[in-house]
């Protein structure tokens, strides 16, 4: 039916506007960062203190996601995944201990 997508879009827009109207009670989110081919994948936008990063190692190699400021560290075998929590705001640089060329940055808001 042609009408169904329109009704769906309208209700989705309503839900979105409700969510945007109350940012103070936004629940902590889980964001995924993939490790593959000796690189970190794209870092998600909209990170906040209290959110969780799920690091997913899709590579054939063991990797870590290690914050330069020591605020998190996770060591993952190939195919493994693990989570770290964002505990502070700011630009947080991270790298892999085994492959120093693997780097990235998380922009974390309060």
Chain residues that interact with Cu ion, rule: CB under 5 A? 63, 96, 98-99, 102
| Smaller CB separation from Cu ion, 102 or 106 | 102
Least Å distance, CB 16 to Cu ion, is 37
Structure token digits, residue 44: 């998600």
| Smaller CB separation from Cu ion, 96 or 106 | 96
Least Å distance, CB 66 to Cu ion, is 10
| Smaller CB separation from Cu ion, 47 or 76 | 76
32 closest CA partner among 20, 23, 45, 19: 45
Least Å distance, CB 71 to Cu ion, is 19
Sequence-separated (6 or more) residues with CB below 8 Å from residue 89:
49, 108, 109, 110
DSSP code of 43? Answer: P
**Three-state SS at 3:** helix
């Amino acid at each position: 039916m042609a009408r169904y997508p329109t009704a769906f879009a309208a209700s989705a827009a309503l839900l979105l506007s409700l969510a945007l109207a109350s940012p103070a009670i936004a629940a902590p989110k889980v964001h995924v960062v993939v490790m593959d081919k000796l690189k970190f994948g794209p870092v998600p936008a909209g990170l906040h203190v209290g959110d969780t990063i799920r690091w997913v190692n899709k590579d054939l190699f063991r990797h870590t996601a290690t914050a330069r400021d020591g605020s998190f560290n996770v060591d993952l075998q190939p195919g493994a995944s693990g989570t770290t929590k964002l505990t502070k705001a700011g630009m947080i640089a991270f790298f892999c201990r085994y492959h120093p060329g693997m780097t990235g940055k998380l922009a974390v808001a309060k």
